[in-house]
Chains A and B, each alone.
Chain A
Amino acid sequence: MLRKSKYLFPVLGILLLAVVISAIALGAVSITLEDMFAAANNWIHHKEPGNIYQAVFLQIRLPRILLCMITGAILAVSGVLMQGLFRNPIVEPGLLGTIAGAAFGASLVFVLSGSMNKDIVHFAGPMLVPIFAFAGGLLATAVVYTLSKGTSRVTVTTLLLIGIAVNAVGLSGTGFMSYIARDPQARSITFWNLGTFSGATWLQVWITGIVAAFVFILSLRYAKQLNTLVLGEEEAQYAGVDTEKLKRRIMILNTAMVSVATAFVGVISFMGLIIPHVMRLLVGSDHKKLIPASMIAGAILLTLADMGARLLLAPAEVPIGIITSLVGAPIFVILLKRTHILYSKGGGND
C-alpha cells in the first residue's frame, strides 16, 4: 500500500508557519511576536520601524527567511523535475551543469574582479557575483544541451553522461581559480561553494520569488506528462506526450530557477536530492501532489537548516551547505536502506 494522508498538506502548512515564526524570532537578536506585528503594521502604514528589533525584522531577518523558503522550494521542485525527467531517483538539480557553471562564474568574479573594468565592477556592485554565476549556469547548461543533441533526438542517457562531463569541467575550472587565488579570494570561493543566506536583500527575494512563481505554475502543468514518463519514453509517446518538447521545457524551467537561486546564495547540496525522496514516501509519485508537497517541504527544511546555520555556533555562522550535507547525507542513506523495496523492481536507469 502506498501511504497517502489527506492531512499531509494541512500538516505541512502548519509546520511551515511554525518554522517560519521561530526562524524569525530566534537569532543574534530575539524578536517577539508583538515586534513582528508592530513592524508589519508600521510598514503597511508607510511608517518607519518603531525600534531596532522591528528594523532587524524587516531589513534582515524577513528577507533572509523568505529567500531561504523560496530557495528551498526551488531546489526541491527542481529535484522532482530532474528525477522525473531522467526517470532516476538519484538525480540532482545540478545534473545539467547549471550549478557547476554558476560556481565557476562566481569564482571568476572573486579572483578576477580586481583586474576587471572598474566602471563595470562599480556599476554592478553586489550584483556582480550573481550576474556571473547566473551567466555561468546558463552557459554550462546550454553546452550540455548542445553537445547532447548529436544526430536527431536527445536521449536521456547521453544527456546524463554529458552533464557529468560538463560538471567535471566546471569543477576543475573552479579548482583552478582557487589555485591561482590569493588567500582571501580563495576563502570567498570556498564559502560560496558552501552557500549562505547572510546577505539576503529584498531585491533578491523579489527576483527569485517571481521566477519561482512562474516556474511552479508551469511545472504543475507538466505534472501529468511527467507521470506518464514513469512508464518510459516510448510509452509516454503512445500516451500522447511529446517527450522531446517536454524535455526541452523542463530543462529550461530547471535552468532558470536553479541558476537564479544559486546565483544569490551559492551551492546548497543535498536538498534537491533528498526532499523528493521523502515526499515520494509520504504522497506517492503522482507529480500533481509530489510537486506542491516538495515545494512546501523544501521551504520548511531549508529554513530549518538556516536556523541551524545561524544558531549552532552563534554569534559565528556555519555555512548552510555544511549543515544540509551533514544532516542530509545520513538521512538519505537511512531512507535508501528502508525504502529499497520501492525502487528495487524496475527502478533506476532506462
Chain B
Amino acid sequence: MIDVQHVSFAVNKKILVNEVSLFVEPGEFVVIMGPNGAGKSTLLKMMSGALPPTKGKILLKGKDLVTYKTDQLAKQRAVLSQHYEISFPLSAREIVMMGRYPYFNSFPRAEDEGIVTDRMERMQVNDLADRSYQTLSGGEAQKVQMSRVLAQIGDTSENEQKLLLLDEPVSHLDVKYQHQLLAVAKECCKKQVAVIAVLHDINLAIKYADRILFMKQASVIKSLAKDEAVTSELLEAIFDIKCNLVDLPGGGKFVVF
C-alpha cells in the first residue's frame, strides 16, 4: 500500500526526519510513538503527500506520492489532523459531508448521504448532526472530524484499498471514546485499509497496533511487532522516564510510568 523509502526531511539544515523506511500493507494498523519533537507528525505529513521529502521517496500503490494530483490523492487516503479551526459556522453533518466532496460533482448522491449517516452512527455523533460545529466540545468535534475522514475513506474492498492517517486522534477524547475510535479504525483495517496513527498512550498502542514504530530524534529506533514483548529498557530509552510493566490477568502487559 505505502512504501516509504529512506525518507528524510530537513528545514534550515535542521533534520526533522532522518532516513526512515516503512512498508505498510492494507489491513495493518501501525502506531508511531515517541517523545515530542521526534518527527512523528512530519513523517505522517510526508506520507499524506502534503510535505514532499527532501530526500528519498514514498510510493503509494507503487506510484510516487508527489506525482499524484490533489483530487486523485483524496480518493486514496484520508488524514485526521491534530487541530481544526473552522472559520465559518457549519453544521456537523455539513462538515462530515465534506469527506464525500471528492466523489460527487455538485450535489451529494444518495450513496454519499448514506455513507455520511453511517459514519456518523459509527462515531456515535448522529444526534449532533444539526449542531453548529463551533458549539461542539473538543471531544465532540474530534469525533465529527473522524466521521468526516471515515466518509472520505468510503467503502473499501479488495480492489479498492485505502490509507488512513491519524495524527493524535484521541487527544481530546474520554477513555470510552478513545477505545471506541481506535476500535472503529481497527475495523477499517479488516476492510482493506492501512491505518497509520500517531499515539501518546503506550497501552492503547499495545492493545490496537499490529506494529509499533518508536521514534526519537528524527530516527526510528525500534519497530516492535505484535508478537514481540515490550520491555521497560526500551521504553525508558525512548521516553527518558522510569517505568514498570505489570502483568495483566488475561495475559499481556500494562505499562505504568
Contact = CB atoms under 8 A, between A and B. Distances in A.
Partners in one complex: yes
Interface of A: 1-2, 83-84, 87-89, 224, 227-232, 234-235, 237-242, 280, 284-286, 288, 341-348, 350
Contacts of A87: 87-88
Given A88-B87, A284-B90, A288-B106, A1 B70 contact: no
Given A227-B98, A231-B98, A238 B74 contact: yes
Given A286-B90, A342-B134, A239 B98 contact: yes
B94 interface: yes
A159 to B, nearest CB: 15
Contacts of A232: 84-85, 87
Given A232-B84, A235-B81, A240-B71, A227 B90 contact: yes
Contacts of B78: 238
A126 B86 CA distance: 46
B101 A239 contact: yes
Interface range for B: 20 to 34
Contacts of A1: 130-132
A284 B91 contact: yes
Given A232-B84, A345-B134, A347-B134, A240 B89 contact: no
A342 B152 CA distance: 27
A1 B75 CA distance: 31
Contacts of B79: 235, 238
Given A237-B70, A284-B94, A341-B134, 7 more contacts: A224-B101, A232-B84, A237-B50, A239-B101, A241-B71, A342-B89, A346-B134
A9 B48 CA distance: 41
12 contacts: A227-B90, A227-B98, A230-B86, A231-B84, A235-B84, A239-B99, A239-B101, A239-B102, A280-B89, A284-B90, A284-B94, A341-B135
B162 to A, nearest CB: 13
Interface string B142-177: 000000000010000000000000000000000000
Contacts of A345: 86, 134-135
Given A242-B71, A285-B88, A345-B135, A234 B94 contact: no
Closest 5 CB pairs of A and B: A240-B74, A87-B87, A285-B88, A240-B102, A346-B85
A214 B69 CA distance: 27
Interface in B171-204: none
B215 to A, nearest CB: 22
Contacts of B106: 224, 288
A235 B152 CA distance: 12
Interface of B: 48, 50, 69-75, 78-79, 81, 84-91, 94-95, 98-99, 101-102, 106, 130-132, 134-135, 152
Contacts of B88: 83-84, 87, 89, 230, 280, 285, 343, 347
A230 B90 contact: yes
Contacts of B50: 234, 237-238
Contacts of B89: 2, 280, 284-285, 342-343
Nearest to A232: B85
Nearest to B105: A224
Contact of B70 (A88, A235, A241, A350): A241
B53 to A, nearest CB: 16
A227 B132 CA distance: 14
Given A238-B74, A240-B71, A348 B87 contact: yes
Contacts of A83: 88
Contacts of A2: 89-91, 130, 132
Contacts of A84: 88
Contacts of A347: 86-88, 134
Contacts of B87: 87-89, 229-230, 232, 346-348
A289 B78 CA distance: 27
A239 B72 CA distance: 10
Contact of A238 (B48, B69, B85, B135): B48
Nearest to A243: B70
